[in-house]
């Protein structure tokens, strides 16, 4: 059912102007949700859902993320959810994925938590991803 987060990290190698992509799969049933992110890195957290059946994921208290100045949500809508993409192999009423896009601070480092909430049939599920913003390596140019 809804037991996986798919994390896609996008960042640019400024020396060669080539996009790079890292993918990490996190099992929601496990406690280890630690993800290292570089300063200024943009990353996407992709979560399975189905809004046509009321299965909607949202970010819990995104304003607190912004106020702590480590991670900024980039694509939240008015209910703190995001764009939903239907699975290419299923019908329009099937499961798909939510794409939550974030950007790490360019100046600050530290630990942050992003909590997602899923409500369906009077159940509420909370899942927290632990993010560690690490400094960019110094390069001699």
Alpha-helical regions (H) of 1-141: 62-68
List CB contacts of 118: < 8 A, sequence separation 6 or more: 2, 49, 55, 56, 57, 58, 124, 125, 127
Instruction: Produce one character per residue of 94-116: b if its CB has 16 or more CB atoms within 10 Å, e if not.
Output: ebbbbbbbbebbeeeeeebebeb
Q: Classify domain 4-134 at the CATH class level.
A: mainly beta
Tokens of 118: 């899923």
- Going from N- to C-terminal start, the domains of the chain cover 4-134
Residue 58: the pLDDT is 92
Report percent pLDDT > 90 for the chain.
Answer: 17
Q: Do residues 43 and 24 touch, judged by C-beta distance below 8 A?
A: no
Confirm whether pTM is higher than 0.85: no
CA pair distance 103, 60, nearest whole angstrom: 17
Distances (CA, A) of 15 to 18, 19, 71, 141: 8, 11, 24, 9
Tokens of 38: 């570089």
The tens-digit pLDDT sequence of the chain (141 residues) is: 444 545 444 443 333 334 445 556 666 666 667 788 889 988 888 888 888 777 788 999 999 888 889 999 999 999 999 988 887 765 555 678 888 999 999 998 999 999 999 877 778 888 888 888 888 665 544
């Amino acid at each position: 059912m809804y037991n996986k987060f798919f994390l896609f990290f996008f960042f640019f190698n400024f020396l060669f102007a080539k996009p790079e992509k890292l993918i990490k799969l996190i099992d929601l049933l496990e406690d280890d949700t630690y993800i290292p992110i570089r300063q200024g890195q943009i990353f996407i957290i992709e979560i399975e859902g189905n809004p046509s059946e009321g299965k909607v994921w949202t970010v819990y208290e995104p304003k607190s993320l912004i106020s702590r100045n480590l991670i900024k949500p980039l694509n939240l809508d008015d209910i703190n959810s995001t764009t939903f993409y239907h699975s290419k192999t299923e019908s329009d009423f099937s499961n798909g994925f939510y794409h939550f896009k974030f950007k790490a601070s360019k100046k600050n480092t530290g630990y942050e938590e992003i909590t997602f909430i899923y409500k369906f049939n009077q159940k509420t599920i909370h899942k927290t991803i632990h993010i560690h913003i690490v400094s960019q390596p110094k390069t001699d140019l």
